[in-house]
Every structure is written in structure tokens, then in C-alpha cells.
Structure 1
Amino acid sequence: MTATLPARAEAPTRPGTHRALNALRAAAAMLVVVYHLRTLLFVDPAEAGDGALTTVLYAVTGLGPAAVLVFFVLSGYWVGGSVIAAFRRGRFRWASYATARLSRLWIVLGPALVLTGILDHLGLALLGNTSIYLGDPAYHHTVPVADLAGRLDPLTALGNLGFLQTIVVPTYGTNASLWSLAYEAAFYAIFPLALYAWKSRGPVGVRILNAVLLIAVCALVGPKVLMYLPVWLMGAGVALYRDRIAAVLARLRPRTLTLARAGAALVVAAALWATQASYSSRNVLLLAAATTVLLALLVQDLRWGGLPGRVLDALSAYAESSYSLYAVHLPIAALIAALLAPHAAQRWVPSPAHWLALLALSAVLVGAGWLFAWCTERHTGHLRAMFDSAFRAVGRSARD
């Protein structure tokens, strides 16, 4: 298959080699964790008082849902960029693409579903009368409302493993965070299908088949998933023009580039704040656009040294565990919250001690994410090699 996309551009820098974007990814994951813990452990904002510091802390710890949009933009840049690069070289192959994506997703998702099942069954057995495991709506759907046991059946687990959560089956157990993986998987399929049908110089029949599959995937996932596709595509758009953007940045004076990056970061922070206050379509697009601008300004990595550089290094290193953190933190947080605040009416009122406890528990979950990644994500290459070997064996058998 030969593509007709413009030549010359390279694939975006891999996630593991770009400190600034890795740090952004890690920070977004941590914001999601803090948000879920605060929602489960603290009283609602309306009951927290109207002090300025409390208002600010509730807003900062409420950025989690908005931070997921940052993930989508970065995913579009990295995954969409890899697809664009493969098409430009005329080397896109569904088998290699599928093994890369599925090995990356499943090596964490499968064990995360097992862990969720174990922790949720433990919670239901030992803490079944607590508000969290009874599905109290006071938690605003951070954990599912009612019939938690009904969401722990094998069919739901298989549906989540097949990225059909929120589309055909509910998210598994208390792990409501898994909704975004279904959206990601849909985008991973839609983008190359569209490129193949539109830009490929391959046989007409193959292009038609890809177009039919594209329509089928879009019909399956529906509008609630497709409405987030433009956010993902914004990141892919940066990847498409990465070389041109990098050339423009190279002509800027260092001070000008620094000021532009600082300004874009402030706009992203303001957009995050606005989105947590009102999760409207306008604010979602504003945040996605602001993140895209910042992403474009960061296609060339930061060259910080000293203490800022070490902080950047630490966040970048942890980014390799951010997917694991995202996939496992919520069932752990639910169990912790059921132990510390068994009933919704017993949730904490803001106080210095409680904020410090929130910080400490967030650190515990960050550590749990790192440990889980050490057991899973670090072996992604091995799983991919197994998938590649299996595909080659099937291909040889088909030829024979």
C-alpha cells in the first residue's frame, strides 16, 4: 500500500523520550487520582464552606475530568503521529499496528480488571454496608450507583477487555475510569481506517472495505464517543505538521519561545479551571485547543537543567507508569474511602489535617501505580513480540 500524504515528516518523538510531554501526561494522571480521592473522601463543595482557600483547593482537586482531555490530545499526537508516519513511508500494516496498540493496552487492562474484581469482591464482602459499595449517588458517579455486584460478571469483564465499556456494557465494577479506554480504542481504529479509505493508493476494493469498516465502527460507538474525536484529532494535526512547526520554533528567539510556552501553559491552566467549573462543549473545545497550542510549542523538548530539570526528569520517568496509575487507582481509592469514611454523611470537612491526608493517600496511589507498571507495562515489548510471532505464524499457515 502506498500513501499520498506529504513526505518528509517524521514520527513524533516517542513518549519515553520527551520530558515535557511525558511530564504533562504524568501530571494529568495525578490530577485524575486526586480528584477521585477528594470526591470519595470529602464533603461536596456546597458543604465545605465559602472560604477562599477552600474554594481554590476544591477547584484544584476538581481538575480530574478536564485532565482526561489532555490525555486525548497527547494520544492523538503520539498514536495518530505514528499512523501518519507509517502512511507517509508506505509501510502501514494493520497487523503490526494492531499488535502495537493491543499489547500496549491489554498488558495493563487485563491485570487491572483482575485487580478490580478482587478488590471489589473484597469490598462487597467486608464493607458491603458502606455507602460506596451500596452505590450511594452522593459520590456523583465517581463509583457506580447501585448494583455493583451486577457489574462484576464475566461478560462485563470481557466487554471491557474488548473496549466496549459504556458502548455495550458498563465499566467493570468500581473502575469507572475505564470509560476513556473505549474512546481511545475507537479513535485508534477510526483514524487509520479513514486514512486508508481516503489516501491509500491500494486496490479500490480494499479501500471500500476500509470505508465500510469505518462506518460500522462509527455506528457502533455512536455520537457520545465521536464527539470527542475532534479533541484527539487536534493532537494528530500537530503530528501531521510537526516538522513545519519545529522549523518555525527553531527561528524564534529563546526568550520569545519561553514566553510563548509560559503563556500557553497559563491558558491551559485557565481552561482547565473553566472546564472543572462547567464541563460544557465550549469549555471542552477551549481546553483542547489550548492544549494543542501548548503541544505545538513543545514539539521541541524543554532543555531545563538544575532543580527544574530534575523535577521534569522525575515526572517524565513516572509517565511510564501513568497508564497503570489511571487503570488501577479507582478501585483502590474506593476501598480506602470505604474504610476511612464508611458512610457518605461521614465524609471529611476541609481541614489542614484532612488535606495532608489527601496528599499522603494520593502518594500511596502513585506508588501503587508505579508498582503495578513494574509488573505489567515494563513487559509490553515481550507481549508485543508474542503477538507479532503469532501473527507471522498465522500468515505462514495461510500461505501454506
Structure 2
Amino acid sequence: MPFLLSQLIEAARWLGALAVLLLHVNNMFVNQADIMSASHAAPAYVWWFFTGEGMGHQAVVGFFVLSGWLVGGGALARSVEGRPFLREYLIHRVSRIYVVLIPTLFLTLVLDSVGRASFADSGVYDWPIFQGHFSATLFFAGFLNLQSLVFPYFGTNGPLWSLACEFWYYIAFPLLALPFARLYGIAPRAGGFAFGVALVAALSGPESWFAFGFVVWAVGAFATRAPRPLIRSRWFSLALLAAAIVVIRLVVRGALLADHPWIGQAADVTAALLFANLLIAFRDAPQEGFPPLRWRLHAPLADFSFSLYAIHMPIVIFARAGVGHFAGRDWAMQPATGENYAAALAVAMAALASAYGFSRVTEAKTGAARRALRGLLDRFIPATAAAEPAPERMTAGS
């Protein structure tokens, strides 16, 4: 991967995960209901802008585009290389997801169980959004990545919905690309394609974001095949994407979005296309460097962005329940004061620190998990062809 593009992806990964974290911390600890009707200091408006639903949602859109670029683009390339690719592809995808997902489900179980037992008087775990979410059935459904697709998500970990979508994109997309993989026989290609179509149809419920998300994901995948960007300038491409996100954040919300849901989808596709163009522009640009990407912490922060996305919500909810227990049910939802902002920042820092430690025993072990899975498969289904090169690095939601 070109060095400059790699830097851009690293920055996008951790910034996106941070945006989602701040959205959920803000929702739990900061009440800015009067932000448009009363006068506030400038930092309050900055906080409102960067922690709103629009920013968190656009971060998830960005994750899907990145995932499509890295995973879907790799599958497209390998489907026409003239050698088998599905076995090694699936080893990489399954190990990448499950080395984080399995510990995440157990961590969610522990935190939710302790929180429900210790902070029951906070009422947090009795909120309607969590009603019926603590069953063993949903816990085990999470291992199949069916949360929010076939079953509700387990416990308080709602953000895992996007992980379920991505996992099944990983499965469906190479099956849909099999007709181009001429090294496989006609029957496997036709059968795989039919199964891919059936899989997408089965998971695309009327209330699900799966089908639309697949379109956004595919934007990233097919962008890798573009011979050149529509907008070549890196600075102009970045400025155009930033301007679009600002407009989406300020305009596509509230009553407008409620009355015209299609505007939200149009905004998501627009942002996805502009982000895809930015990736192409950085791929094809001279690789001498780009000042905003020279910060040395981009890579270390990106390295645990997946863990941060996966585990932050049960941590935030546990902290919210603890505050409700010790300070009263209504403290966190009072009109925001300096104490609310301080609590939000403290919880965000705790989530970041926890995610880093969690990643050292999960994400950092992806290579070992991949080798173990490959060795297990070799015992029962020996490989018949040389393995292809490893796919590109994953995104925060991958």
C-alpha cells in the first residue's frame, strides 16, 4: 500500500472510533438540550458539533468505505489473479473479527452483570433500549454475528450491529465476485454467486441498514479499481469532504431527517463517494508526505481503534450506571455544567485506556490467531494451493 494512503487510513481509523466514543459519552453525560435557545461559551458549541449524532454516524459510514476498500478491494483483486483465494481470505477475515469479538462478548457479559447487580438503583439497565437484551440466546447469537440482523444485540453493546454487517459483507462479497474467478469451476462459481445473493436477501430486512450499508461498503471496494480520482488534488479532495460533513452535521438532522429519511441516505452516499475519491487521490499522489498526517501517534492510535469501537459502549454504560448510583438518577441529565463535561472526558479517557489494554491481548494477537486457525484447517482440510499474500490492514469496525 502506498505510504501516504496508509497514513490517511490510520488517521481515519482512530478519528472515526473517537467520534463514535464521544457521541456515546455525550449522550450519557452531557445534556445540551438548550444549545440553540440559550447563550453558551464557545467550547460548548464546539463540543456540540463534534459529539453529535451526525458526526458519529458519518464515522461509521467512513468505516464501511474503508472496510470495502481494504477487504472488498482485496477480494476483487484476488478473484481475477488466477489462483484460489477463498480459503486464505476467510482465514484472515474470521481471525481478524473473532480475536476481538469473542473477548468483547465476554467483557460485555461481565460488565453488564456487575453493573446490573451493583447499580440497579440507577435504573440504567432497565431503560427500554436494553429491555430483553440480557438473555443467553442473544449472547450466543453474538458469536454468529447475527446481532441487530436476526436477533437484537446482546446486553448494552449496541455498536456491534455494524460489526455484524461487515462480517457478512466479508462473506457475501467474494461469493458475488466468484463469477470473475475463472480458476474455479462453473458449478462452484454459479453456486457461490447464488448463495451470496440469497445471503444478502435474507439479511436485508425492511428495518435493517444491511442492504444500504452494503452499497456504501461496495463504494469502497469498487473504488480500488478506479484508474484515477475524479478530483486529483489531495487538499481540495480533503476540503470538499470536510465541507460536506459540516453541511451534513448542521443540516441533515432533526425534523428534516425525520420527515425525509432519503436525505440521510443521499448524504451518506455523498460522503462515501467523496471519501472514496480522497482515498484514490492519496493512492495516486506523490508519496513525499502530507503535513496533517505526519503525527507519529496516528499509527499507535489506529492499532487499537477496533478494540475501542468494540468495547467502549458497555464501559460507558457501566460508568453511567455508577454515576446514577452514587450521584442520583438525574445528575447526568441535568443541564450541562462543567462537572458533566469533566465526567464525560474522564469516562472517554477510561474507555481509551481500557481499549488499549484490551487490544494488547486481542488485536495484537491477530497474527497468532490466524496461524492457529490455518493450522487447524490444515489438519482437517489440507490446502491444495499456495496461499495468497495477506490482505491489507483492517479498519476500526473490521
TM-score of the pair, normalised by structure 1: 0.83
Q: Deviations over 1:245-304 (max 9, x none)?
A: 27x98xx6xxx5434433333334433554565472222222222222222222256714
How many percent of aligned residue pairs carry the same amino acid? Answer: 24
- Contact 1:275/1:287 (8 A) holds in 2: no
- Contact 2:145/2:167 (8 A) holds in 1: yes
Match for residue 178 of structure 1? 160
Match for residue 38 of structure 1? 26
Query: Alpha-carbon deviation of 1:56?
Result: 4.5
With over 3 angstroms needed to count, the CA separation of the structure-2 counterparts of 1:14 and 1:91, relative to structure 1, is farther
TM-score of the pair, normalised by structure 2: 0.83
- Contact 2:84/2:184 (8 A) holds in 1: no
C-alpha separation in 1, matches of 2:157 and 2:186? 43
Which one of the candidate residues 53, 57, 66 is aligned to 1:65? 57
Query: Alpha-carbon deviation of 1:48?
Result: 8.1
Match for residue 224 of structure 2? 239
With over 3 angstroms needed to count, the CA separation of the structure-2 counterparts of 1:294 and 1:158, relative to structure 1, is same
Instruction: Supply the AA of the counterpart residue of 1:79.
Output: V
What SS does structure 1 have at the residue aligned with 2:152? coil
RMSD: 2.7
Query: Alpha-carbon deviation of 1:107?
Result: 0.4
Match for residue 202 of structure 2? 220
- Contact 2:8/2:293 (8 A) holds in 1: no
Q: Deviations over 1:34-57 (max 9, x none)?
A: 110110112263588543644552
With over 3 angstroms needed to count, the CA separation of the structure-2 counterparts of 1:273 and 1:48, relative to structure 1, is closer
* Structure that is richer in helix per residue: 1
With over 3 angstroms needed to count, the CA separation of the structure-2 counterparts of 1:127 and 1:196, relative to structure 1, is same
User: Are 2:265 and 1:281 aligned?
Assistant: yes
C-alpha separation in 1, matches of 2:37 and 2:353? 32
- Contact 2:69/2:222 (8 A) holds in 1: yes
Match for residue 210 of structure 1? 192
Query: Alpha-carbon deviation of 1:21?
Result: 1.3
C-alpha separation in 2, matches of 1:297 and 1:19? 13
What SS does structure 2 have at the residue aligned with 1:240? coil
Q: Which has the higher contact order (CA 8 A, sep 6+)?
A: 2
The equivalences for 1:327-346 within 5 A come to 327-342=310-325, 345-346=330-331
Q: Deviations over 1:196-238 (max 9, x none)?
A: 0355353221122112211221132114211211100111122
Q: Deviations over 1:361-391 (max 9, x none)?
A: 2122112111111111100000000111111
- Structure 1 runs of 4+ with >6 Å offset: none
C-alpha separation in 2, matches of 1:276 and 1:18? 32
Match for residue 112 of structure 2? 120
Equivalenced residue count is 365
- Contact 1:218/1:226 (8 A) holds in 2: yes
The equivalences for 1:71-220 within 5 A come to 71-135=63-127, 137=128, 144-147=129-132, 151-197=133-179, 200=182, 202-220=184-202
With over 3 angstroms needed to count, the CA separation of the structure-2 counterparts of 1:375 and 1:368, relative to structure 1, is same
Query: Alpha-carbon deviation of 1:81?
Result: 1.6
C-alpha separation in 1, matches of 2:49 and 2:235? 27
C-alpha separation in 1, matches of 2:157 and 2:288? 35
Moved more, 209-218 or 353-362: 353-362
Query: Alpha-carbon deviation of 1:82?
Result: 1.4
Q: Deviations over 1:26-79 (max 9, x none)?
A: 100000001101101122635885436445522320121231111000100011
- Contact 2:223/2:280 (8 A) holds in 1: yes
Query: Alpha-carbon deviation of 1:344?
Result: 5.3
C-alpha separation in 2, matches of 1:310 and 1:174? 37
- Contact 1:275/1:284 (8 A) holds in 2: no
Q: Any unmatched runs of 5+ in structure 1?
A: 1-11, 138-143
With over 3 angstroms needed to count, the CA separation of the structure-2 counterparts of 1:324 and 1:13, relative to structure 1, is farther
- Contact 1:25/1:319 (8 A) holds in 2: yes
Query: Alpha-carbon deviation of 1:169?
Result: 1.7
Which one of the candidate residues 370, 389, 400 is aligned to 2:356? 370
Moved more, 79-88 or 371-380: 79-88
- Contact 1:171/1:179 (8 A) holds in 2: yes
With over 3 angstroms needed to count, the CA separation of the structure-2 counterparts of 1:198 and 1:89, relative to structure 1, is closer
